Amino acid sequence: MERRESKQVRHEARQIGGWDLSKFPKAIFGKVREVLTSLGNGVNPGELGGKRFGFAREMMRIPIGYRHRLLCRWDQDGVEPLELLTHEDYNARVRRKNWVS
């Protein structure tokens, strides 16, 4: 019983803002936490490597390491993180027409 509870605690610790990041490596989890903390503290996304899309200026991407991207929406209230994707999933999503919701 103790092992199951320990696993549940570890699983809950790998969630940020309702996102389940348990399928991502620990290093990525730490980087996402740092980026989200920085965005919450008002750091400009450009300082984190964030870039806006040319065709959808309200959308932006922030690289999380070499193989992951954080999709965000930029509005008057600030930057709202939407989804963490692998680079392959990110490329497939961006190439589709009408992917911005």
pLDDT in tens, the chain (101 residues): 566 655 554 544 555 656 666 677 778 888 888 888 888 888 888 898 998 888 778 889 999 988 999 888 888 888 888 888 888 888 888 887 666 65
Is residue 1 a part of any domain in this protein?
Answer: no
Is residue 7 a part of any domain in this protein?
Answer: no
What tokens were used for 38?
């920085």
Is residue 101 a part of any domain in this protein?
Answer: no
Is residue 57 a part of any domain in this protein?
Answer: yes
- Residue 65: partners with Cβ closer than 8 Å, 6 or more residues away: 27, 28, 31
64-76 residue pLDDT tens: 988 999 888 888 8
Is residue 76 a part of any domain in this protein?
Answer: yes
Is residue 88 a part of any domain in this protein?
Answer: yes
As for how many domains the chain has, the answer is 1
What tokens were used for 70?
């954080």
Is residue 35 a part of any domain in this protein?
Answer: yes
CATH of residue 39's domain is: 3.30.2310.20
Which domain, by its residues, includes 33? Answer: 24-95
